[in-house]
Amino acid sequence: QVQLVESGGGLVQAGGSLRLSCAASGRTFSGYAMGWFRQAPGKEREFVAAINWSGMRTSYADSVKGRVTISRDNAKNTIFLQMNSLKPEDTAVYYCAGSTTSSNASPSVRDYAYWGRGTQVTVSS
């Protein structure tokens, strides 16, 4: 059974930082893209960041570019999301996703077959 388990969410003040982790089990994602998405109450799930199979290429949503860094450790089947200068509008449930079809850093929800259950990030003003 494939599982993606996020951790590292929490409550932080505006301007603070959080580091999210996502550990995959049940299959390896080392040859495929992985990504982070988020969903705020009443809004659709949106792309945050993605990383290609090797970790050499990344893509970011404009709303987080310059404040967020995605990385991966293929040996540990784990990806990370370092978030700095957090804003109240970053408040959302953050989901980790793994692709089984794309090796590129895809921003499309459709390219990801496996999803974690999410971790809550709350940024207070």
pLDDT tens digits, 45-91: 999 999 999 999 999 999 999 999 999 999 999 999 999 999 999 99
109: helix, strand or coil = helix
Half-sphere exposure of 1 (CA within 13 A, CB side): 3
pLDDT of residue 103: 86
Q: Exposure pattern of 67-86 as b/e (b: 16+ CB <10 Å)?
A: ebbbebeeeebbbbbebeeb
d(CA 15, CA 88): 9
The partner residues of 70 in beta bridges, in order of sequence, read 81
Tokens encoding 88: 């109240």
Q: Are strands 68-73 and 58-60 parallel, antiparallel or unpaired?
A: unpaired
Where residue 102 falls among pLDDT bands split at 50, 70, 90? confident
Where residue 123 falls among pLDDT bands split at 50, 70, 90? very high
